Structures are given as C-alpha cells and as structure tokens.
Copies of this chain bind each other. A is one copy, B any other.
Amino acid sequence: MYSILDLQDKFNLLIANQVFKKKPHKLYDPIAYTMSHGGKRLRPLLTLLACDLFSGDVEKALYPALAIEVFHNFTLVHDDIMDKAPLRRGKETVYKKWDSNIAILSGDTMFALAYQYALNTDSNLVPKILSVFSQAAIEVCEGQQFDMDFETSPSVSIDEYLEMIRLKTAVLIAVSLQIGAIIGDASEEEIIEMYNFGNNLGMAFQLKDDLLDVYGEQEKFGKKTGGDIVANKKTYLFLKALELCDSDNRQILNDTYNNSAIDSEVKIQKVKQIFDKTGVKNAVESLMLSYYDAALHCIKNIQVDETRKTQLLELASSMFSRNY
C-alpha cells in the first residue's frame, strides 16, 4: 500500500517529466504555466488511491490520473475566460496573462492531451475508461452551461442548483475514483460504489467551496472572496438564504444580488449581512455533512480490509479541513 505522500511524489514526478515546452510556444507555454501551479492534485490522487484500494497496479493508473488532472485544468482555463476570472490559485489566469484566443486553443490542446494520457494504460481497459471519462467530460460542460444560465435566470430551485454542481464538480471527482477502481480490477458493484462515493464527496466538496467563497480567507483560498456574490452566482448559500429569510430581507437580498450598478465590496457586505442573519452557514454545513456521511457510507460497503481504506478516508477528510 502507498501513502498519500508516496502517491503525491509519484504523481508530481510524472508531471515534472512531461515536456510542455514545445513549439508553438504560445500554445504550450500556457499549458506548462497551468500545470506547474500545483493545486491540490486531488482528483489524480483519488484515482491512484482508488486503484491501490483494490490492490491494483498503481503504475497503470498514473497516466489516466494525469489525464484527469490535465482535463480538470483545461476546464479551469476555459471557465476562467467565461467567468472573466483574473486570478486562479493566486496567479493570473491564462486568458489574462496571454489572451482569450490563446486560452481557448491551449485549453483545447490540453483536452486532447488528456485523452492521449488516458490511453496510456492496459489497452483492454481503454474502451471502458474512455467511455466513463468522455461521459464525465460532457457532463462537466453541461454543468458549466447550467451555471452560466443560472446567472441570468430569474429563479433557480435548490434542486436545479444541486444538479448543476453535481455535473460541474461532483461527476469528475466520481469518475476519478471510478477510473481508479476500474484499473484496480474492482467488481462492477464496487466500481459503482466508488463512483457514488465520489459523487457524494464531490457535492460536499463544492458546498465547502461555496462556503469558502464567502467566508474563506483570501490568501488561503487563493482567489478573491465574494466572487460568487459579485458574479450573481445563485449558490446554495444564496438560494437557501432566500428560503430562510423574511420577505423584507428576501426583497433586499434579491435586489442587491441583481443590482449591477452597486460597488462590489458594498454588495458583498450587504449580502453577507443577510446570510449571517438567516444562519444559512449552518444550513450549508449541515447539507455538506449529510453528503459527506453518504460518501462514507459508500466506502463502508466496499469489501476490502479496513486498513486499506485509511489513506482514502484521510484524503476525503482533508478536503473538509480547509480553513475559512
């Protein structure tokens, strides 16, 4: 069995060995830049840990794990253009540092590279891995579109929001674990259980992210807090606050959220005040924990020695110890 640190080392070495410095430089420099930023490498670690859970050959999971990480970073590069985000992990986004065209095309190349990496495993596993990977890729795009639709939609239900974050975030975490399980030669039932584990974990993870966007410390979080409020993102926090508050505050909250003329900092403060009054932070934390419990329930159903599960559970737990 490998420790998380072992797997991080293996994975970081793999990334370090990829040659992203090629011609045309305007295409590959942004890829090297994006991939060098680190980030948590959460998804590839989940793939490797899932493979190891079933005593699979972790070496065979390395490139598929890299595929998932490169794909994830591709989605960030394109999302940042669409969201006009200036910062990502505390650094300038690709479209800001270069331009939109370069961000579009470097992103496309990363997507193709991701598939090329995903092919680098046992060839008999390739059709299955690429099938679930492609399905996840499509769903991630659907999630991003729903996310953009919701910004201008007059009303979004909590169910619609939860389905959106499932598509945009949870599915890729789910498929990271699923692909690890496939390479680990898990049974069909176990592969599904690992997907469900990831799906629930991903939901909890995104709800935590929504919380951090409002209540996080900017330096630790790596991007400006309050971004969701400024961008009129109808997050669970916002939707639940609407449900919990009285009609006067509901009116103020709606008006403030949809007021494009208001100063950003003032908007963030006004919205936060209402959030605080409604106690919506507790409501989000409660929903987050129920997803987390559901995730733990899935992992309990996996019939492997409990000691094999400790690393995976530790990583899952660390996803929620991120500070405000």
Q: Is A18 interfacial (CB-CB < 8 Å)?
A: no
CB neighbours (8 Å) of A123 from chain B are: 127
Given contacts A27-B141, A116-B138, A138-B113, contact A101 B82 (CB under 8 A): yes
CB neighbours (8 Å) of A126 from chain B are: 126-127, 130
Q: Which of A164-178 contact B (CB under 8 A)?
A: none
Tell me how many chains of this kind the complex includes: 2
Given contact pairs A26-B149, A27-B141, a sample of 9 additional A-B residue pairs in the complex whose CB atoms are under 8 Å apart: A26-B148, A78-B105, A100-B100, A101-B148, A104-B104, A112-B138, A113-B134, A115-B115, A119-B127
25 A–B pairs (Cβ distance < 8 Å), ordered by A: A23-B142, A24-B146, A26-B145, A26-B148, A27-B141, A27-B142, A27-B145, A78-B104, A78-B105, A81-B100, A81-B101, A101-B148, A102-B145, A105-B141, A105-B144, A108-B108, A109-B142, A111-B111, A112-B137, A113-B138, A115-B115, A115-B134, A119-B127, A119-B130, A119-B131
CB neighbours (8 Å) of A101 from chain B are: 81-82, 148
A108 & B105 in contact (Cβ 8 Å cutoff): no
Write the chain B residue with the least CB distance to A128: B123
Q: Nearest 7 pairs between A and B by C-beta?
A: A112-B137, A27-B145, A109-B141, A24-B145, A116-B134, A123-B127, A82-B101
CB neighbours (8 Å) of A24 from chain B are: 142, 145-146, 149
